[in-house]
Amino acid sequence: MRDETRFEITVTVNGAARRLRVPARRLLSDCLRHDLGLTGTHVGCEHGVCGCCTVLLDGRPVRSCLTFAVTVDGSKITTVEGLAPGDGRLSPVQRAFAECHGLQCGFCTPGFLCTVTALLADNPAPTEDEVLEGISGNLCRCTGYQNIVKAVHRAAELRAEES
């Protein structure tokens, strides 16, 4: 093996500070799943096409499979495990996906939930076109997207009702 120096990083994941030592080539997706045991972040294509591994990096959705863990030292990361408010309830986006049947096998769902959470934080009442543009980087092979789009609009309603 060539140089496999480990780098010490500190990241705040779902509100908890985590310190760990990672080789430079450790993808953030693998760091979350293997080093931290947060297997809610799914890895589909591992080259940035499918969107399943999307997490929030300092509030913005990014592909965790196209991000090296060593480069996000000092950042805040939210994964699907951190979207629910923590009182046993689901977040508005999660409830809307359940209510509108916005998932079938569930593999793509963590990526969609993170993407849509950020989309609505940025734009609380998106138009149909803005929803389609917003989720265009996430692939779903089951639903045909119709119910996912419905779920995004429903989540916007739930957020508005609860704010």
* Contacts with another protein, residue ranges (CB under 8 A): 1-5, 7, 23-25, 27, 30, 46-48, 51, 54, 57, 60-63, 65-68, 70-71, 115, 132-134, 136-138
> To the nearest whole angstrom, how small is the minimum distance from the Cβ of residue 162 to another protein?
25
- Residue 67 and residue 17: Cα distance in Å, rounded? 19
> To the nearest whole angstrom, how small is the minimum distance from the Cβ of residue 86 to another protein?
25
Measured from the CB atom, is 14 or 30 closer to another protein?
A: 30
- Residue 162 and residue 124: Cα distance in Å, rounded? 12
> To the nearest whole angstrom, how small is the minimum distance from the Cβ of residue 61 to another protein?
5
- Residue 69 and residue 89: Cα distance in Å, rounded? 30
> To the nearest whole angstrom, how small is the minimum distance from the Cβ of residue 4 to another protein?
6
Residues 11 and 97: beta-carbon distance below 8 Å: no
Longest dimension (CA), the chain: 56
Measured from the CB atom, is 3 or 161 closer to another protein?
A: 3
Measured from the CB atom, is 43 or 99 closer to another protein?
A: 43
Q: For the range 119-123, what are the long-range contacts, defined as Cβ-Cβ under 8 Å and sequence gap of 24 or more?
A: 119/61, 119/152, 120/92, 120/93, 120/152, 120/155, 120/156, 120/159, 121/59
Measured from the CB atom, is 85 or 128 closer to another protein?
A: 128
